[in-house]
Amino acid sequence: MTGSSCVTANEVATNTKTGEQISHHGAAADTVVILDFETTGLSPGEGDRGIEIGAVKIERGQVIGRFQELMYPGQRISGFIESHTGISNEMLAKARPCGEVMRDFSEFIQGFNLVAHNASFDKRFLDAEFSRVSIDYSGQFSCSMLAARRLCQHSPNHQLGSLVAYLNIPMDGVLHRALYDSEMTAKLWLVMLNSIKEQYGLSVIPFKLMQKLTKTPRHAVHALLKGCC
């Protein structure tokens, strides 16, 4: 499924907690929190930590809140990570510890399902950081990258920047900062949902359908969605 659509979003705000909380049970796919971590490395199992969390809260396709904060990981970050993210050790030295930020973030996501681009990565870090401060969450995850592999099969690749360019989604910033990546993932997610709605005549797309989609072989995607009409 290809084509281009646009969904606008504004970039701002820190720790915004707005909008009525919604139960994730039976929720629609356009009512979610879309999140992104910047980290010291690739594996929390090897001691890597989050250094920034960014998230966009969407209700019925409209942004109702944003969360962004640097967090001190208790270790220095490498020159590669500084260059890749634009986040310096000096910036992190002034940030709150990860645990404090995560406690606030747990309130922000309460009652919402979660989406991330390459969600297995972000879920590992979310689980690890929450575990350190004995926090749990009830929302379920879905992955925008896996969804795009089924819905945008002709994209050159399925990295976030490539998909944004392929779908002609406007960009006004640089990727690899947590809030901006969340903003662009939110745009991508809504474009994909709108494409499904238009092609298959669906008024509401359940979150569980998107989870099922990400596990469906590419050749079976059309049959899956047509069966929901």
Q: Which of 117, 154, 176, 222 is catalytic?
A: 176
| Distances in whole angstroms, Cα of residue 8 to Cα of each of 72, 149, 188 | 32, 23, 10
Contact 148, 158 (CB under 8 A): yes
Q: How many CA atoms lie within 13 A of 10 on its CB side?
A: 7
Edge-to-edge order in the sheet of strand 50-59: 62-70, 50-59, 32-39, 113-116, 141-143
Contact 117, 146 (CB under 8 A): no
Identity (one letter) of the amino acid at 116?
A: A
Tell me whether strands 50-59 and 62-70 are parallel, antiparallel or unpaired.
antiparallel
25 is catalytic: no
Cross-strand pairs, 52 = 38, 70
Active-site annotation, residues:
176
